[in-house]
Amino acid sequence: MNGEEEIERLRRLNPIVRSAPPAPGSPRFNAILEKSMSQTSTLNSLADQAPPRRRKRWTVVAGIATAGVAAAVVAAVALAGGPDGRPAPGTGPVDAGSVLLAAAERTEQVSSLRFSQPPQGGGAFSAEGEVSGANSRIVSKGEGVTETTIVIGSDRYVTAADGTTKKETIPDDQKLAPFARAAGDLTRAASQDRNVAVVGTEDVRGVKTTHYRLTLPARTSAADPASPVTELPATELAWFELENVDSYSAPVQVDIWVADNLVRRISGTVQNQDPLTTVEFYDFNAPISITAPAGR
Amino acid sequence: MNEEAFRAFFTANFGDVWAFIRRRVATDEDADDVTADVFAVAWRRREDLPSGAERMWLFRTGYNVLANFRRGVERQRQLHLRIVSVDPPEVGYEAVADVDQELWSALAALSGSDRELLLMQAWDGLEVAEIAAVLQVSAPTVSSRLYKARDRLQRELHRRDRQGRGNVQGESHGKGSTRR
């Protein structure tokens, strides 16, 4: 069984058969070339777009990934005082960077927590999750459908609304980093960026927090400095739908709310668009046990 | 790479990149826009393009730009767009020829990653190593996943053959659901 016959059948469905690319030298060809070289992008002008679909994100949530080398480098830079001369924690005035760094270090030490993704977008996608180490249980809702995803090690159990459960082995390239570590590394990376600022004081789930905002300008040249956030592995950024953050043609805001040296909320937004995602954290180090669905 | 060299680079690769994008967006105009974004990334990173592997770099960049593009575009799409979406919503078959419905329907029943692999091979004509370069995974991983995807497509088609087309068109399997 090699499937060659099916591949050949698929070839005949190729949509490109009915659409040819603009000929070299044609007005459309030249317009695309000039647009490319003038850095004009369409991606930052889609103000009326639908929000990203959340279900896929939560369904690919997975177990342990290898430690992000880039994140480790960022951490090392942080402890050495930072590339922009910012003083190391405890040696200078308390600024946004040092507060975020402290929050990063405490948050990534959390062994368990719960998180919530409030409803967003036309499909009202939302999720409630609990995490214990690298294991997780997430109930996602959207477009009237509820789905539960449990990840234990490399096993993923997806229970649909009708109660049927499907067990899968998570491919290596779909495994995400443990949630707390991802949140910690993102916060640490933000702490090292000179574009982070205090927005104000806000309430998150009944806790008074300080709201910080990192604005990542769209890079227009390879010579432009990359934010430490963009150096994080996709296995961490994917939790917050920021894995392609470096390829947006519009500025991206990463908002982080902190209280008691713990990250309480993270939100990412591409300028002029709906939020990519918003995730709130609570019940830090609560006794949480993630188990496989009954009968599994 | 100076401007003249970039224009030559653009001309040499434009058709392939545009076609790669066109297979995954709704209209020629969308393909024009996304292709321009891909080459805009190439232009600003023209000093960093991997020598000898520029074409796959462009496809990989196109794959990433498409992910962003999909976030912002209404998902009212023709059938083939539903099929290649990472997370396809319901699909309709009104505009699909009868002879192709069964195959589309079987394809819709597969996972998004299975679909992407199969269509990269069937539509884009990419070899295993090239798919691996685009997806940034190892070639053995692609080979294994591709084999399983073909097998699942074949089994899905056989299942539909056994049950008869009329009995399965309204069912939902995996991420893609079907309706008439």
Q: Of the spans B69-83, B113-127, B166-180, which averages the highest pLDDT?
A: B113-127
> Are residues B104 and A56, on separate chains, in Cβ contact within 8 Å?
no
Please give the tally of structural domains in chain A. Answer: 1
- Taking CA atoms, what residue in A is nearest to B147? A2
Average pLDDT of the segment spanning B12-21: 92
Q: Is the separation of the CB atoms in A290 and A70 below 8 Å?
A: no
Q: Of the spans A73-87, A199-213, A224-238, which averages the highest pLDDT?
A: A199-213
Residue A185 lies in a domain: yes
Both tokens of B139, joined, read 């070639």
> Are residues A49 and B68, on separate chains, in Cβ contact within 8 Å?
no
Would you call A51 an interface residue with chain B, using a CB distance cutoff of 8 Å? yes
Both tokens of A110, joined, read 């959390």
Both tokens of A274, joined, read 């709906």
Confidence of residue B13 (pLDDT cuts 50, 70, 90): very high
Q: Of the spans A11-20, A61-70, A189-198, B167-176, which averages the highest pLDDT?
A: A189-198
Burial B136-161 (b: 16+ CB within 10 A, else e): ebeeebbeebbeebbebbbebbeebe
Taking only the tens place, the pLDDT of each residue in A224-236 is 667 888 888 877 8
ipTM higher than the 0.90 cut? no
Taking only the tens place, the pLDDT of each residue in B146-167 is 888 888 888 888 887 777 644 4
Would you call B98 an interface residue with chain A, using a CB distance cutoff of 8 Å? no
User: Mind telling me how many Å the CA of A92 is from chain B's nearest CA?
Assistant: 37
CA B94 remoteness from chain centre: 21
State residue B159's pLDDT score: 83
pLDDT above 60: residue B137? yes
Would you call B35 an interface residue with chain A, using a CB distance cutoff of 8 Å? yes
* Whole-number Å distance between alpha carbons of B141 and B149: 12
Would you call A253 an interface residue with chain B, using a CB distance cutoff of 8 Å? no
Query: Looking at the partner chain, which of A7, A55, A247 has a beta carbon nearest the beta carbon of B87?
Result: A55
Q: Is the separation of the CB atoms in A68 and A185 below 8 Å?
A: yes
Contacts of B48 in chain A (CB under 8 A): 222
Q: What topology does CATH give the domain B1-73?
A: Rna Polymerase Sigma Factor; Chain: A (1.10.1740)
Q: Is the separation of the CB atoms in B179 and B170 below 8 Å?
A: yes
pLDDT above 90: residue A59? no
Residue A193 lies in a domain: yes
Would you call A39 an interface residue with chain B, using a CB distance cutoff of 8 Å? yes
Domain extents in chain B: 1-73, 76-180
Per-residue DSSP letters for A91-139?
SS---HHHHHHHHHHHHTT-SEEEEEEEEETTTTEEEEEEEETTEEEEE
Helix axes B139-163, B112-122, angle to 10 degrees: 100
- Residue A267: give its domain's CATH number: 2.50.20.20
Burial B108-135 (b: 16+ CB within 10 A, else e): bbbbbbbbbbbbbbbbbebebebbbbbb
> Are residues B119 and A10, on separate chains, in Cβ contact within 8 Å?
yes
Domain containing A130 equals: 55-282
**Pick the residue with more confidence: A124 or B94?**
A124
Give pairs for B176-179: CB < 8 Å, separation 24+: B176/B82, B176/B83, B176/B88, B176/B90, B176/B91, B176/B107, B176/B108, B176/B109, B176/B110, B177/B89, B177/B90, B177/B91, B177/B108, B178/B90, B178/B91, B178/B93, B178/B105, B178/B108, B178/B109, B179/B90, B179/B91, B179/B92, B179/B93
Confidence of residue A220 (pLDDT cuts 50, 70, 90): low
> Are residues A49 and B28, on separate chains, in Cβ contact within 8 Å?
no
- Under the phi-then-psi rule, with left for phi > 0, alpha for psi from -120 to 50, and beta for the rest, what region is A206? left
Residue A45 lies in a domain: no
Q: Of B10, B14, B68, B155, which to mutate for an interface test with A (greatest number of A Cβ within 10 Å)?
A: B68
pLDDT above 50: residue A27? yes
Residue A133 lies in a domain: yes
> Are residues A7 and B118, on separate chains, in Cβ contact within 8 Å?
yes
**Pick the residue with more confidence: B44 or B179?**
B44
The CATH class of B76-180 is mainly alpha
Residue A26 lies in a domain: no
Confidence of residue B83 (pLDDT cuts 50, 70, 90): very low
Contacts of A19 in chain B (CB under 8 A): 22, 28, 31
% pLDDT > 90, chain A: 24
**Pick the residue with more confidence: A67 or A240?**
A240
Average pLDDT of the segment spanning A5-15: 79
State residue A291's pLDDT score: 93
Contacts of A37 in chain B (CB under 8 A): 3, 6, 39-40, 43
Contacts of A10 in chain B (CB under 8 A): 103, 107, 118-119, 122-123
Would you call B109 an interface residue with chain A, using a CB distance cutoff of 8 Å? no
Confidence of residue A123 (pLDDT cuts 50, 70, 90): low
Confidence of residue A256 (pLDDT cuts 50, 70, 90): very high
> Are residues A21 and B18, on separate chains, in Cβ contact within 8 Å?
yes
> Are residues B123 and A16, on separate chains, in Cβ contact within 8 Å?
yes
Contacts of B177 in chain A (CB under 8 A): none
